[in-house]
Structure 1
Amino acid sequence: MNTQHSTLQPAIQECADAVAAIASGIRDEQLQDRTPCEKFTVAELVDHLGSTLQSAARAARKEAQPGAGAAPAVSPRTLADSAGFAAVAWSDPAAYEGTTEFGPGELPAAFAASITLQELALHGWDLARATGQPFGVSDETGRTAFGVVEQIAEQVRGNGGYGPVVPVPGDAPAFQRALGASGRNPGWND
């Protein structure tokens, strides 16, 4: 079995299940609320994450990404479905082999899976916090997410995708350290 698949796939599945549950719990009156991801309201984050997960599923299946154009806004129900479709697509070990089209262009497929995990984990947490829902991940998934965030943090921060590092104790759970490394305050809205 591909090492990337055996590490990333269970974490993607766990986070996708959590995102689907969170999306199903979003109420209409919460859609304009702010999120820990400062540039997004709940509705905007649902749309961003849902669209990203649709692209991630295509990337896992090695399908071409659609051209630029106005896509319909993603609803919480569509986000829940998209999380499930992405998890299923990344459950295939062949999805991690070779290269694929994702985001700004072609990249190693295993790296696209890593990006999918960090999107699910970080934005899933953002949505949970913004809507007053729980977001818990296993220690193993937390460690995997932290490893991905550490790997890409400086590049993503340079592109404006992450904020400045939020200090988190070194003995904090790995997922809290991932949040801090991505510029999120693990205590947001406590």
Structure 2
Amino acid sequence: MNTPHSTLHTAIRECADAVAATASGIRADQLGDRTPCEKFTVAELLDHFGETLVSSARAARKEPQPAGPAASGTSPAAVAESANRAAEAWSNPAAFEGSTEFGPGEMPAGLAAAITLEELAMHGWDLARATGRTFAISEDAARVALGAVGEIAEGARVSGLYGPPIPVSTDAPAFHRALAASGRNPEWSA
């Protein structure tokens, strides 16, 4: 992804703020609800999200990732805080330099940032839709998210993380195109 780090960080920050706002409003009675990401309930998505965002902040700071799975039971408040910490960690221009450990292993730091943005945007939307909230980001952030989704879509489909792309109009908003490229139906509702 050839997006300047300042543009990518701005989109990460905007999506992190939207995730924090969404997560902060999740009620206990919504934790068992389904999400657009078929393999996750709201609670399971919060667990995944919390683990990924903590890992992302470590990746931005070039810290090693711990061995073994993270603890489950991530609260909505913890996800909101993790989103803010990840965005803060990616605010340092040095975070985008060289390589770092993230997810399955070592990768270019810029790719780890793109994956962070994709996670914030796609799973943030998943949480918002599942809990009846709006995931509001600017068209600029949506275009950067579309680029991040495009960068990882092929590998994500091969590994089963994305479903087949959903057809949408070429003049659809950038965020709808990003959702569709990730295999999500932009019209999904609980």
Question: Does structure 2 retain, via aligned residues, the 8 Å contact 1:49–1:123?
Answer: yes
**Partner deviation per Cα, 1:27-73 (whole Å, 9 max, x = no partner):** 00000000000000000001101110000000000001011045242
Q: In structure 2, what is the equivalent of residue 93 of structure 1?
A: 93
- What is the TM-score when the length of structure 1 is the normalising length? 0.97
The percent identity for this pair of structures is 67
Q: Aligned ranges for residues 8-157 of structure 1 at < 5 Å?
A: 8-157=8-157
- Cα distance in 2 for partners of 1:4, 1:105 equals 23
- Cα distance in 1 for partners of 2:61, 2:125 equals 26
Unaligned stretches of 5+ residues in structure 1: none
- Cα distance in 2 for partners of 1:162, 1:46 equals 18
Task: Figure out how many residues of one structure are paired with residues of the other and give that number.
Answer: 189
Question: Does structure 2 retain, via aligned residues, the 8 Å contact 1:129–1:189?
Answer: yes
SS in 2 for 1:62: coil
**Partner deviation per Cα, 1:99-146 (whole Å, 9 max, x = no partner):** 000001100001100000000000000000000001011111110000
Question: Does structure 1 retain, via aligned residues, the 8 Å contact 2:51–2:70?
Answer: no
- Cα distance in 1 for partners of 2:10, 2:24 equals 21
- What is the TM-score when the length of structure 2 is the normalising length? 0.97
Tell whether 2:183 aligns with 1:180: no
Counterpart residue type for residue 135 of structure 1: F
Question: Does structure 2 retain, via aligned residues, the 8 Å contact 1:4–1:110?
Answer: no
